[in-house]
C-alpha cells in the first residue's frame, strides 16, 4: 500500500503516519520527491486498512498497488513526475519530465582538464542543459581506460561551473557516495550496476537526483524494481535511462528497446530518457536513434561528445564531434515542439 501525503503535509504529519504503521509491526518507507511525499507500506494489508490512515491529517490518499514496484508505479500516482537537477538558491535547475525534452551531453570519460572543458563547451554551445562525464568508468575489458577517479570529479565540476551546466556522473561503489555527491548534481547508476542493491540503497539515502540505466539483460519489471529500491530508501528523484539490451543481433553492442519508453511511461510515473550512444556504439546511428527517442515520447537523450573522437581514450567510435552534436541538437529543436515538448 502507498500513502500519498498532501503537498503541504508537515514532517510531523508524515511521522505520525509512519509511527501508526510501525506500532502494528508494519514497515513504512518515506520517499520525498520535488512535489510530494509518499509513504510505502509493507506488511499486512488488512491491518493497514483498519488503521484508517486516510483520515489522518496531511494524508491525500491511500492506494493499494498490485505491482512489485509500488512507489515508482503509476498505479499510485497517475500523473508523470518531473525531476529537477542542480536546483539551488542561485539557479532554477534543469527539468526532466513531461513537457520537456532534455539534452544531456559530455565526454564518455574525463581525460584531462582541457578535454573536459572543450567537450563541455561543445555540449553547452549545442544546447545541452546537463553535462555528463565519466570519472569512474565501467568497462567489459579490464584493459580499457577506467577513468581518473577523484581528479576527474574535480575537473568535471570545474567544467560544469565554467559552462553553467549541472553535472551528472556515474558512481560504481557505495563507498564513494560522499565523494561523488560532493561534486555531482546527479548520480548515474550504470547498466552493469542496475542490480547492485548496496549502491541502490546508498543513492536512495541522498538528496540528489539519480539517473538509473537499464541493465543490459534486465526486463522492464527488473528495472522498475531497481528504481523501487532507490525510492524505498527515500529518494523519489529518479530518471530512468533506456540504453539498449542484449539480443542475438551483433551489428550493434546492444539493441535499443525503443518500445520500453512508452511501456515504462505507462507503468511508472518516472521520467525516461534514451542513450543512443551506448546502445549503438556507432556515431552514425546516434542521430537516427535520437530522432526515434523524440518521436516515441522520451523525456530526453544522453549523448557522448568528444573534441577529437579519434584520440579518445575510450569509446571514440560512438562519440560525436562538434558539427555532429550541433546537427543532433538542431534536430531536437525542430522535432521536440512537434510533440509538445520544449527544450530545456
Site of interaction with ligand PEP (CB under 6 A):
108, 134, 138, 170, 190-192, 213, 243, 275, 278
**Residue 191 or 325: which CB sits closer to ligand PEP?**
191
Helices (H) and strands (E) in the chain, counts: 11, 15
Looking at beta carbons only, is 274 or 336 nearer to ligand PEP?
A: 274
Give residue number: closest CB to ligand PEP.
190
Compute the least distance from the CB of residue 98 to ligand PEP, in Å: 23
CB of 85 to ligand PEP, least distance (A): 16
For ligand PEP, which is the closer residue by CB, 14 or 299?
299
Least distance in Å: CB of 56 to ligand PEP? 42
Q: How far is the CB of 7 from ligand PEP (least distance, A)?
A: 34
Question: In the bound complex, what is the minimum distance in angstroms from residue 268's beta carbon to ligand PEP?
Answer: 19
Which of 23, 250 has the CB closer to ligand PEP?
Answer: 250
Return the C-alpha cell found at 254.
Answer: 546492444
Q: Smallest distance from the beta carbon of 101 to ligand PEP, in angstroms? A: 19
**Angle at the Cα of 271 (from 243 to 132), degrees rounded to 5?**
55
**Minimum CB distance to ligand PEP smaller for 43 or for 138:** 138
Contact status, residue 316 vs residue 309, Cβ threshold 8 Å: yes
C-alpha of 29 from chain center: 21
List the alpha helices (DSSP H) in the chain. Answer: 11-23, 45-50, 113-126, 150-163, 177-183, 197-204, 220-232, 260-267, 276-280, 283-296, 322-335
Task: Quickly count: other Cβ atoms within 10 Å of residue 289's Cβ.
Answer: 20
Nearer CB in complex with ligand PEP: 71/275: 275
Yes or no: say if 324 and 283 are a contact pair by the CB < 8 Å rule. Answer: yes
Instruction: Assess contact for 246 and 216: CB atoms under 8 A.
Output: yes
Amino acid at each position: 500500500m502507498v500513502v500519498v501525503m498532501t503537498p503541504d503535509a508537515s514532517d510531523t504529519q508524515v511521522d505520525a503516519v509512519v509511527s501508526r504503521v510501525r506500532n502494528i509491526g508494519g514497515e513504512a518507507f518515506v520517499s520525498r520527491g520535488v512535489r510530494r511525499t509518499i509513504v510505502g507500506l509493507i506488511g499486512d494489508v488488512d491491518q493497514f486498512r483498519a488503521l484508517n490512515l486516510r483520515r489522518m491529517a496531511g494524508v491525500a490518499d491511500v492506494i493499494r498497488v498490485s505491482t512489485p514496484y509500488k512507489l515508482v508505479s503509476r498505479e499510485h500516482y497517475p500523473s508523470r513526475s518531473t525531476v529537477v537537477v542542480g536546483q539551488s538558491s542561485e539557479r532554477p535547475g534543469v527539468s526532466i519530465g513531461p513537457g520537456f525534452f532534455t539534452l544531456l551531453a559530455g565526454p564518455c570519460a574525463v581525460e584531462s582538464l582541457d578535454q573536459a572543458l572543450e567537450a563541455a563547451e561543445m555540449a553547452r554551445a549545442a544546447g545541452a542543459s546537463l553535462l555528463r562525464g565519466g570519472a569512474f568508468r565501467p568497462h567489459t575489458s579490464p584493459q580499457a581506460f577506467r577513468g581518473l577517479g577523484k581528479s576527474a570529479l574535480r575537473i568535471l565540476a570545474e567544467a560544469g561551473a565554467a559552462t553553467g551546466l549541472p553535472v551528472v556522473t556515474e558512481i560504481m561503489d557505495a563507498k564513494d557516495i560522499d565523494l561523488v555527491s560532493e561534486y555531482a548534481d546527479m548520480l548515474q547508476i550504470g547498466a552493469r550496476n542496475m542490480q547492485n542493491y548496496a549502491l541502490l540503497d546508498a543513492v536512495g539515502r541522498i538528496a540528489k537526483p539519480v539517473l538509473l540505466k537499464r541493465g543490459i539483460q534486465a526486463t522492464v519489471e527488473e528495472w522498475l524494481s531497481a528504481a523501487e529500491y532507490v525510492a524505498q530508501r527515500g529518494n523519489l528523484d529518479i530518471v530512468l535511462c533506456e540504453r539498449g539490451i542484449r539480443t542475438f543481433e551483433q551489428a550493434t553492442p546492444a539493441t535499443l528497446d525503443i518500445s520500453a519508453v512508452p511501456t515504462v511511461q505507462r507503468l511508472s510515473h518516472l521520467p525516461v530518457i534514451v542513450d543512443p550512444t551506448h546502445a549503438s556504439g556507432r556515431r552514425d546511428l546516434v542521430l537516427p536513434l535520437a530522432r526515434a527517442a523524440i518521436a516515441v515520447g522520451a523525456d530526453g537523450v544522453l549523448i557522448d561528445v568528444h573534441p577529437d573522437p579519434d584520440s579518445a581514450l575510450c569509446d571514440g567510435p560512438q562519440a560525436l564531434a562538434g558539427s555532429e552534436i550541433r546537427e543532433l541538437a538542431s534536430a531536437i529543436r525542430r522535432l521536440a515542439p512537434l510533440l509538445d515538448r520544449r527544450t530545456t
